[in-house]
Structure 1
Amino acid sequence: MTQNTLAQPAAHAGRFDVYRKISWRIMPFIVLCYLVAYLDRVNVGFAKLQMMTDLHFSDAVYGLGAGIFFIGYFIFEVPSNLILHKVGARRWIARIMVTWAIISALTLFVQTPTQFYVVRFFLGVAEAGFSPGIMLYLTYWFPAKKRGFALGFYYIAIPLAGVIGGPVSGWILDAFAQSTVMRGWQWLFLIEAIPSLIAGIAVLFLMVDKPEQAPWLSPDEKREVVEAIRREDAGKTTHDSSGSFIKDARLWKLAAVYFCQIIGLYGISFWLPSIIKGAGISDNTMIGWLSAIPYLFAIPAIILTGISADRFRSRRMHFSLALAVGAIGLAMAGYVGKDPTLAIIALTVGTAGTLSALSLFWGIPSAFLAGTSAAAGIAAINCIGNLAGFVSPYMVGWLNDVTGNARIGLYAVAAFMLLGALLVRMISGRIADQ
């Protein structure tokens, strides 16, 4: 009795040490990969500041082009995740990143709305599976109770992309504005595709598929991690057929909540530079620096909400409150209109709330799915929810053109987010608060 009691703290300390080691070994590179992925996905928001005029695109054309990315993403996401589960993350993530870097660079050749739609669609096809693939990859390394920190760490890449990408994108537009070779927005697509290409090649050398293959873990550490994941997976759901998978109501509820949340995420990502410009800021470099402010404040917000949710084991409440705060911030950004100071403050609140909710969400499905079901389940929730990535920019662009009032689109985005904050209350507390 005494010996067992004395042994428990040592085992606990060992578990803490090994997961800390894993976090510092794999998470910085994963965050870098997601940062360049997200930058290539949303840099069209900055390109819009010039290409709309050069190519005579309306807000509706831009919104449809920005959003059609997610149609390709939707179609190929689940197959991509199943392939990753079969062939390994290292090879498949490298393939994804190199392919999307090439297609993102090809956007510089766009001249017509149809060409814009086609290249955005195939960019979505190329990137399909990256984000859910990383979610699945983390389930190989961290049990559910240790995964909250890793997911929060991972999603910091989104605000980092805003902090870094905003000033860089604004500078590229202005620095190459007088280029006789290409327009500034064309240079933007070319230059910002290069980091993705380099990172994709680096994946082949730096990523390790599973703990048992990691040369930097000792045999005891490998055994400890593998056994922890195996014990946890034994109590999770593994669907034997596509029919039982489709009938799992929890997945559909989570997909609906995620849909509402993604409406907000891409309401910010694709329109933030335009909102700042509409508040009276015309200099592209200044727009880039100001766009970094909301993302900068979102970083501590993500960390603090994640710590609080883990401490109080109330993920559902924290998610709901964060999404509601994000909705209020975006609605206020529309309401204050032409005042740049108030607009930045409102956008900061909206961005911090929205991204904090995003980092909390993915701890839920991975807490009750295992194996192939985890691969398919995470991808299914992500791809259904990411249809909002098509709906959100197109809805805002269409409303802007039809009403002539940029506020209406933001109000619509905020309404969806509030709906998501309410829908999450329909998911069982036992699951939602894992």
Structure 2
Amino acid sequence: MNENRERLTAVRASLGRQVQDQGLPLVDTVFWHNPGPKIGGYLAFQLQMAGCGETGAHRVDLQPRPQRFKSLSELRQHLEREHTNKHWYRGQRRRYQALYRGVIPSLIEAGLGFDAVEFQMESLVPSVYRSFVRSSPATWHESPPLGPPLDAFAAPLRAILRSGNEKLIEVFVQATEMIGLDTIRLLVSDRVNIGLGEKMAAPGTNVSKEIAKLISLAQHYEFNSVMVDVTRNVDIAATFASSDWESGKRAREGGGVIYRFDASMIEKASVDMLKGGVRSPLLGPLALLGVTDVHEIGFDLQRPVRQQGGSLFGLETAAAHFLFQMHGALEAFVFEEDDVGADDIPEMNYLRPTDDPGLAVFDMSARDQVEPLTDDEIADGLRRAGKSDKEVARTLSWRRDGII
């Protein structure tokens, strides 16, 4: 396996250099290399219309034009009237903006004069990437080198392994198998495009069910993750849009924002990203995209259930925001004041119950323990859950070979 480990190291290093050279998220550097004539032409048209700004870059504005309401109760009534089963929501106390600046080599090679590009978008960035977007423009070029996949989820996985929860550790084992498959897809992407079967993916996404479960659990219990949590329920989104996160109390002063996502349009955006034109085989294992329901995730965990939770993948990329704009998948609704008429929405304490068994598993003290998992931690956790020596040895072998 040493040869494969060396090839993996080389592939990951090459992808890391793309991010450093182009200044955009990894998936963007792959997608924009050859987005196809429809999407590439639309991007070139928008850049041409925008013109060159003071920074020397052509900027594309991907932020949705907000619909404005005087009060939260007025906004709730509007959203409830229009609600269908294709809608997902996310409430926030305020809007945030992200600005990406980078280069797209294919545009430079086309000689269109777009030597530098900027993407301005809603900062709906998954928590694991937020340190890069705190600056304007974002500092994607400072991304750390790509490493073994488990390193990206070290803190929540450490919490699961320490808990001894057999059901969750079984999900961990199943997820490592799917992570290993993704690594193999990456390793052979220069020769063959290995897809992920529909039955293997979480509904509405290109993410395996097991990996989606792990990521979703991490996010709902406040560990960094690569997804954004959403809800099917307007009132629950209204609670998050009008409550202080730390205290859980209604803020009362000021307004907020509720985002609405259309799952049917997200599906079209996913098709455009992964299957349209001449797509790189790298996009399959690298680009996580889509929205899926996680409120029936099980394991006696209450937060996903009470929040009627969903997981939305892909919002760290400019490509996703670009495709969402093309298909009308994202809308923003702003309200000016949290009025008394909205007092019947759920309280934050109900959505984050203190007696949730999940809090014993996802110990908050472990959130900052992001150093890579050791072999001893993995072996001890698997054995506590009753895994055989053969299963432990296989997992550790994959880990040492850089597969997981």
TM over 0.5: no
Q: Which has the higher strand share?
A: 2
TM-score (norm 2): 0.29
Q: Which has the higher helix share?
A: 1
TM-score (norm 1): 0.28
